Structure 1
């Protein structure tokens, strides 16, 4: 398998608190990876480091792009996004006063090829690109089951559908890596089942590498090929779902016992 992401000795300090400590990971192209751990383990902080929200205190984050290794640690989020990295958030961050369709279209700005002059003068290239954007956005909404709600305001969607809209918007940037931060949070069992199927589907269709944070262990164990486990900011285990289930350090971490 070809490596797409290398994380080496990644550390993030907030004053005297070490939120992520000496973390290393190797992610291969096309993998579906789970990142688990108790509340406060540093999972979202790690995602924020990988996507440019935070700058690392030390360590390397290397993204493979066309057989070149690019050091992305410390880059601005938009620069990392332009390299093909997308994410959703633990707390949903939609444009609530925009429609479902508009939320997806706004994420496609980096793929638009017309310039300011063409937009002002409404040249043929403008209309051609806008038509493509609308068709692509509608295609993505069909994938996540929201096409019939495309003209609805995002704020009016029920919670589970807002999660799906976040995924559609992330797909709109045509990513190579998709980070999902607790995508099943707040969902009922049926919604979680449908979400599991959706994640599996989009990963296969769009040839994505998917890394997800999740507390729903049934979802993690069902779809993830490998799992990394964080506790108090440190990586305490990694392996297949079966290996993780039998790892005494992981069991103790979740039970709150001393390791």
Structure 2
């Protein structure tokens, strides 16, 4: 069974159709690419899949544990609780908080101790805090950010902020992870490191990943299947070698075989 099934998804903004009859499937522990020109509707699609936008038409089905759940109409925090996390095209960290606090905030959905235990400083509160601290540091170590745990997130270099945003998303323990242009603004060395990191994330966390990306080298190296959007519609889908030689994709987006 697919972990995500999208059926005829459409989003209208007044007279503008941002997405039209989009059909998409993601299998368990699969890495799928979503590419296309600027303005093709890729981020709008992500926003519908994560509850930011309500679809005008169509259906979103998520099956984290083998049973399909309809996501239409669910708020973003409810979508997160079900097992979907994302990063953003423009980094959205809590820049005035520490690196570790950015990660711990994402763990709140699993906190079992209540408000009363926090106010009264009961043993259960301290036990929960210790667990979150330990798990956050373990996660930061994977991203080589553990030595900067107490620094302000806003003081990190750009590439490290990107990594922190991915770490924060993974702190919610997702089954499905959406990455919106994770390599944007990175230099070639940072992009190579990110490519290796995404491979490690998929294997270590056994998570399905859908990524929007304009760096075709990264897309072709990482993705098992690729969907291509143009003017809000899927114009092609298939294996990387099929996409790189697809005449319609070359004409609409690639410009040449990659």
TM-score, with normalisation over the residues of structure 1? Answer: 0.97
How many equivalent residue pairs?
256
> Which consecutive residues of structure 2, in runs of 5 or more, have no partner in the other structure?
none
> Which consecutive residues of structure 1, in runs of 5 or more, have no partner in the other structure?
none
Give the deviation of 1:67 after TM superposition: 2.4
Q: 1:255 to 1:192 in 2, by over 3 A?
A: closer
Give the deviation of 1:129 after TM superposition: 0.8
CA contact under 8 A between 2:4 and 2:61: conserved in structure 1? yes
1:214 matched residue in structure 2 = 213
Give the deviation of 1:99 after TM superposition: 0.5
String of CA shifts for 1:60-97, please: whole Å, max 9, x gaps.
Answer: 00001322211102210001000000000000000010
CA RMSD, Structure 1 to Structure 2 (Å): 1.1
1:65 partner SS: coil
1:26 partner SS: strand
Aligned 1:110-149 pairs, distance under 5 A: 110-149=109-148
2:168 matched residue in structure 1 = 169
1:94 partner SS: coil
1:31 matched residue in structure 2 = 30
String of CA shifts for 1:17-76, please: whole Å, max 9, x gaps.
Answer: 000000001110000000000010000000000000000000000001322211102210
1:68 partner SS: coil
Q: Does 1:230 align with 2:229?
A: yes
TM-score, with normalisation over the residues of structure 2? Answer: 0.97
2:73 matched residue in structure 1 = 74
Give the deviation of 1:255 after TM superposition: 5.7
